[in-house]
Amino acid sequence: MAPHDIELRRGRYAKLDAPAEDDYATPTRRSFDSNDSSLEDLEEFDPLNYDAGTLKQKRSTGDLRARRASFKKAEFVSEKAQQRRKCTPSRLCGGLVLLFVAATVLLLSAGGIWAWKSAPENGLSPPWYPTPKGGTDAAWGESYKKAAALVKQMTLVEKVNITTGTGWSMQMCVGNTGPVPRLKFPALCLQDGPLGIRFADNITAFPAGITVGATWNKELMYQRGRAHGLEARLKGIHVLLGPAMGPLGRLPAGGRNFEGFGTDPVLQGVAAAQTIKGIQSEGVMATAKHYILNEQEHFRQAWEWGTPNAISSNIDDRTLHEIYAWPFAESVRAGVASIMCSYNQVNNSYACQNSKLMNGLLKDELGFQGFVQSDWLAQRSGVASALAGLDMTMPGDGLKWANGNSLWGPQLTRAVLNGSVPMERVDDMVTRIVAAWYQVGQDRWRLQPPFGKGGPTFSSWTDEEIGLLHPGSDDKTTGVVNKFINVQGEGDDFHGNLVRRIAAEGTVLVKNENNFLPLNRNGWKEHEKAGKEMNYRVGVFGEDARLNREGLNVCPDQSCNEGTLASGWGSGAVDFPYLIEPVSALRAAFNNESVYVTDWLENKLPKEKEILEDQDVCIVFANADAGEGYLSFEKIRGDRNDLFLQKNGDKLIQEVATGCGRGNGSVVVVIHTVGPVILEKWIDHPSIKAVVIANLPGQESGNSLVDILFGDINPSGRLPYTIAKKEEDYGPDSKVKYLPNPLDGLVPQQNFSDGLYIDYRYLDKHDITPRYEFGYGLSYTTFHLSSLLITAKGPKTPFPAPRPSGLEPPSYSTEIPDPKTALVPEGFRKLSKYIYPYLDSIDDIKKPEVQTSQLQSPLSPAGGAQGGNPDLYTTMITVSASVTNIGVVDGDCVVQLYIAFPKNYKDDESGETVDFPVRVLRGFEKLHVEAVQDGPIQGVKGSEHGGGGNKKMVTFDVTRKDLSYWDTKRQNWVMPTSGDFGIFVGLSSRNLPLEGRW
Ligand code: BGC
Ligand code: BGC
């Protein structure tokens, strides 16, 4: 499939996208905020709005060691990057040449067939200029007015200070911007991440995104966002670096899929939007990341994997719209304040300087009003990224970590003064950031020192109370950096309760033969008891049932798979405040007068098999871990190497299944995993009665598992991905690219030639039977669906209404300021490696004579408001159905709506057939439906209600966008008006009892 079907304007694009000379000049450093945080102010700090939980609790774990280790890693990366900094694709030099000569010789001698391409292809991604200005959407109108009033008063250096991070580990958070003390605009604190607050104490380790996706519960998605946002606010964090919705999960082994919500754009989009609304309801800016197509860890970043450039994800325009950009569109529609552009390239242009993606898709078509920040070191050019729509560079460092050489900072100042970047663009960057700050109400937060006592209440860099204020610099000033504020909530609002609920609802029961589960706390169930004199004997097996014996937080960013798995690793992991061990929770749940529990908490079973043979029931645990690519564990460099259980998990399960009760025992398998795992080696074993996929539960692991196994909560988790029978069943394009192909030249290439056909869309198309399909999961009760009703709200029409015109964005003087205003003021104290906006000298700056105006790319007919043309979200049909609980216990039912586009549909104008997936998810609702009467299943609570109420109605609003495809020629969403849509309502992507047409 060819990249974008849009006409390319090669020459102009190539020029804009090429790093400008300026980007590589050595910047100068000077102090901007010489009178920043005084020791006294920090010490007197007392937390805003929060008295209840201000317990002063010090962390007792060995986290610091871990922190340091991960920091070291960053430094190591930088060293490498530095040596090779100037060796950009366009100028091969010294070591690099040698490297490639060596590689060439090696390849030749190995007899490989290869071709050599000396430079990455340019111009494969269409240009889109200039950057659309923020301030066009009425929902942000007030915030933009206020922002404009403030920005009007700022000088150029003050503006630049807001756009540029101060450098890795220069202040308390993983990202920190420069303040404008004169106008009391604060330094913003940006902190990871999607499942809790990284590098912080007394916080909550929530279930990972994938577990949240598996709940299919919109309310819980919102509540988790809200609790997370509250924790961030109380720690003084302005911008939370989550939720993650890219990677979407195209590659089942992708290392960071666990941070997102599942391999479907609608599930991912709903969960992302709910999370964002939750976070921002607490006054904290959310970040939708990673924009976009960062589907694998290998080669995600230049130099991190030895290649001079990051991988290029090559995609066609339709797939981009219908799959990967969809959750971002939903995020923008939810009003997200920030979006993080990703490390990788897209169609051979870095995501953080890709004008089609940022200017075109995000800011024009999707009407994004907030600001785009770069992933950490994902910015690869100065001028080009500014013109392509980047608004903030993180962490401020440029091509390498923590050396003080920013691509912006002083370079952006210079670029404005010499006319490379229009004043308008910088004004828009700053206005977007300041407007986002107003939009969530942070102007009401307490002022930062020296005016007040606001600011972060924790340090990312130490666990001690007193620590360096600028650890990345040579400055030795210390102060109180950790306040140890407990932000975990209290009483009914204790966030652990929410964690437990989410993890239970995110646990998917995939096998339950003869209703083996739920277990009975007293052991034998009534009907099994006959003739059983002995105690009920339970054996618990596997290292995943216990804690890591070395401690909870001993590995940097959780980058090891030791003990029970409750989180993946990387920046999307946190220090566990505590972790409920599965085996202990199980022991506590069983009545120890009638149940005898033994355990073997290793994956290698002992030689003597009594422990296995003397059991009635064996509960065996196994797992599969993955994470972010800057850390690796046992040859897993971020992405998994296969889809099997790790640490001999399959073998353990097989042995337990064979040996348990001398072959007469019943086996329950519990799996903690970052994503799909292949279960075929044992799934049909006759002893294996039940299997639960518990995903990544977070800190309440054992408790949530017990809730499900004993039926305190009726399982309602559904798979947010397909579990195939073998890895090949996901399709030939579903493999991580683990090695660069010499044919790719300097940029590893990853073609998304699977197009729309990922996960269930691929298996459906090729009629491959999965082991467990997307959307699948069992309950302890049975639901019956009936009474499908499809109501049209109007006739089918092919196009959305014309794009509405928005508000006028704020305007400022476009005049280039006097360069003298950019000089470092006298007497400022400068910190080494700290990034400031000032210039040391302005001698080489020539004011441009005339500013050339740029051509305007055509505005998208699909744009016009946040999330796109508002008419795309007009309801075209409503679909309703009834759900009856025909079982004997209450339960939650996830009702899913899938749509099939008209068969053999041909485009009216061109007569070309448009290809569609068999079915696509377009909506879901989780309903609590009571049973008719109390049930005889023992151990299941919650069916006290009796009589009536066992039937509920569910309604879905189906929008124009839901019923449209992206037409690359018209550059618009088009709804087929001939032929019928198939409308399916059911309990999974392959269990769809109700079918209608429209
Ligand atoms: C940092 C992470 C970052 C990674 C990138 C690590 O040292 O802790 O925040 O994502 O480097 O390589
Ligand atoms: C990760 C981001 C993260 C950032 C800051 C990067 O390496 O990709 O997800 O937010 O580091 O830690």
The answer to whether residue 375 is catalytic is yes
**CB neighbours (10 Å) of residue 695?**
31
Domain contains 19: no
Name the one residue in this structure whose structure tokens are 């690099």: 96
Q: Which helix (H) or strand (E) holds 589?
A: helix 582-589
| 348: region left, alpha or beta (phi > 0 left; psi from -120 to 50 alpha) | left
Over residues 111-144, the pLDDT tens digits come to 333 334 444 455 689 999 999 999 999 999 999 9
Domain contains 113: no
Task: Return the higher-pLDDT residue of 850 and 880.
Answer: 880
Q: Check whether 56 has a pLDDT greater than 80.
A: no
Burial class (CB in 10 A: 0-12, 13-18, 19+), 801: middle
- Mark whether 519 and 634 lie in a shared domain: yes
Domain of residue 965 covers 783-804+864-997
Over residues 772-781, the pLDDT tens digits come to 999 999 999 9
Domain contains 578: yes
Amino acid (one-letter) located at 52? A
Q: Count of alpha carbons within 13 Å of 660, Cβ hemisphere only? A: 29
Cα 394 to ligand 2 centroid, rounded to whole Å: 9
Task: Please tell me the predicted confidence (pLDDT) of residue 746.
Answer: 87
User: Phi and psi at residue 787, in whole multiples of 5°?
Assistant: 55, 55
Average model confidence (pLDDT) across the chain:
88
Residues 196-203, mean pLDDT to the nearest whole number: 98
424: which residues sit within 8 A by CB, 6+ positions away? 130, 133, 812, 814
Q: Does the Cβ of 289 fall within 6 Å of ligand 2?
A: yes
Q: What is the CATH number of the domain that holds 962?
A: 2.60.40.10
The set of protein residues with a Cβ atom below 6 angstroms from ligand 1 is 70, 73-74, 77, 174, 376, 571, 630
Nearest alpha carbon to residue 714 among 937, 946, 950, 990: 937
Q: What is the CATH number of the domain that holds 674?
A: 3.40.50.1700
| 284: region left, alpha or beta (phi > 0 left; psi from -120 to 50 alpha) | beta
- Mark whether 796 and 813 lie in a shared domain: no
Domain contains 543: yes
Whole-angstrom Cα distance, residue 273 to residue 767? Answer: 32
Task: Please tell me the predicted confidence (pLDDT) of residue 76.
Answer: 30
Residues 880-886, mean pLDDT to the nearest whole number: 97
Over residues 145-186, the pLDDT tens digits come to 999 999 999 999 999 999 999 999 999 999 999 999 999 999
The answer to whether the CB of 486 falls within 8 A of the CB of 54 is yes
Q: Does the Cβ of 375 fall within 6 Å of ligand 2?
A: yes
Domain contains 735: no
Mark out the alpha helices in 673-805 (DSSP H runs).
Answer: 701-709, 760-765
Closest residue CA from atom 9 of ligand 1: 571
The lowest-confidence range among 264-278, 529-543, 972-986 is 529-543
Q: How far is CA 338 from CA 237, 241, 335, 949, in A?
A: 14, 9, 9, 43
Closest ligand to C-alpha of residue 75 is: 1
Over residues 781-828, the pLDDT tens digits come to 999 999 999 999 999 999 999 999 999 999 999 999 999 999 999 999
Task: Please tell me the predicted confidence (pLDDT) of residue 281.
Answer: 98
Q: Between the ranges 4-13, 181-190, 530-539, where is the mean pLDDT highest?
A: 181-190
Task: List the beta bridge partners of residue 597.
Answer: 538
In the set 17, 22, 23, 375, the catalytic residue is: 375
**CB neighbours (10 Å) of residue 811?**
11
Amino acid (one-letter) located at 841? S
Q: Check whether 52 has a pLDDT greater than 60.
A: no
Residues 759-781, mean pLDDT to the nearest whole number: 98
Q: Does the Cβ of 201 fall within 6 Å of ligand 2?
A: no
Closest ligand to C-alpha of residue 191 is: 2
Cα 569 to ligand 1 centroid, rounded to whole Å: 11
3-state secondary structure of 638: coil
Q: Check whether 17 has a pLDDT greater than 80.
A: no
800: which residues sit within 8 A by CB, 6+ positions away? 861, 862, 869, 871, 872, 874, 960, 972, 973
Whole-angstrom Cα distance, residue 395 to residue 470? Answer: 14
Q: Check whether 948 has a pLDDT greater than 80.
A: no
Cα 272 to ligand 2 centroid, rounded to whole Å: 17
Measured at the CA of 434, the angle between CA 433 and CA 435, to 5 degrees, comes to 90
Q: How far is CA 555 from CA 66, 72, 768, in A?
A: 6, 13, 40
Beta strands at 349-350 and 345-346: parallel, antiparallel or unpaired = antiparallel
Amino acid (one-letter) located at 850? V
- Mark whether 423 and 359 lie in a shared domain: yes
Task: Return the higher-pLDDT residue of 191 and 99.
Answer: 191
Task: Please tell me the predicted confidence (pLDDT) of residue 986.
Answer: 98
Domain contains 82: no
Q: Check whether 607 has a pLDDT greater than 90.
A: yes
Measured at the CA of 797, the angle between CA 796 and CA 798, to 5 degrees, comes to 125
The band of 31, judged by pLDDT with boundaries at 50, 70 and 90, is very low
Quote helix, strand, coil % in the chain, to nearest 5.
Answer: 25, 15, 55
**CB neighbours (10 Å) of residue 343?**
26
- Ligand 2 pocket test: pick from 192, 342, 344 the residue with the most ligand atoms within 8 Å of its Cβ: 192
Q: Check whether 51 has a pLDDT greater than 60.
A: no
Closest residue CA from atom 11 of ligand 1: 74
- Mark whether 948 and 906 lie in a shared domain: yes
- Mark whether 441 and 583 lie in a shared domain: no
- Ligand 1 pocket test: pick from 376, 379, 569, 632 the residue with the most ligand atoms within 8 Å of its Cβ: 376
- Mark whether 297 and 167 lie in a shared domain: yes
Cα 669 to ligand 2 centroid, rounded to whole Å: 34
Task: Please tell me the predicted confidence (pLDDT) of residue 745.
Answer: 83
Closest residue CA from atom 9 of ligand 2: 571
Closest residue CA from atom 2 of ligand 1: 571
Task: Please tell me the predicted confidence (pLDDT) of residue 933.
Answer: 65
Over residues 313-322, the pLDDT tens digits come to 999 999 999 9
- Mark whether 611 and 676 lie in a shared domain: yes
Nearest alpha carbon to residue 332 among 78, 622, 132, 632: 132
Domain contains 286: yes
By percentage, how much of the chain surpasses pLDDT 90? 82
- Ligand 2 pocket test: pick from 628, 630, 631 the residue with the most ligand atoms within 8 Å of its Cβ: 628
Over residues 510-521, the pLDDT tens digits come to 999 999 999 999
- Mark whether 437 and 345 lie in a shared domain: yes
The lowest-confidence range among 296-310, 338-352, 506-520 is 296-310
Task: Please tell me the predicted confidence (pLDDT) of residue 121.
Answer: 57
The band of 943, judged by pLDDT with boundaries at 50, 70 and 90, is very low
Cα 753 to ligand 1 centroid, rounded to whole Å: 30
Cα 121 to ligand 1 centroid, rounded to whole Å: 29
Q: Check whether 47 has a pLDDT greater than 50.
A: no
pTM of the model: 0.89
Over residues 415-442, the pLDDT tens digits come to 999 999 999 999 999 999 999 999 999 9
The answer to whether the CB of 461 falls within 8 A of the CB of 71 is yes
- Mark whether 726 and 792 lie in a shared domain: no
Residues 365-377, mean pLDDT to the nearest whole number: 98
- Mark whether 939 and 982 lie in a shared domain: yes
Task: Please tell me the predicted confidence (pLDDT) of residue 851.
Answer: 63
Closest residue CA from atom 10 of ligand 1: 571
Over residues 612-621, the pLDDT tens digits come to 999 999 999 9
Whole-angstrom Cα distance, residue 439 to residue 434? Answer: 9
- Mark whether 421 and 514 lie in a shared domain: no
Closest ligand to C-alpha of residue 259 is: 2
The answer to whether the CB of 185 falls within 8 A of the CB of 238 is no
Q: Check whether 107 has a pLDDT greater than 60.
A: no
Task: Return the higher-pLDDT residue of 259 and 102.
Answer: 259
Domain contains 291: yes
Q: Check whether 22 has a pLDDT greater than 90.
A: no
Q: Does the Cβ of 221 fall within 6 Å of ligand 2?
A: no
Q: Does the Cβ of 495 fall within 6 Å of ligand 2?
A: no
Task: Please tell me the predicted confidence (pLDDT) of residue 944.
Answer: 40
497: which residues sit within 8 A by CB, 6+ positions away? none
3-state secondary structure of 672: strand
- The number of distinct structural domains making up the chain is 3
Residues 30-42, mean pLDDT to the nearest whole number: 31
Task: Please tell me the predicted confidence (pLDDT) of residue 221.
Answer: 98
- Mark whether 756 and 800 lie in a shared domain: no
Q: How far is CA 113 from CA 2, 116, 151, in A?
A: 24, 10, 58
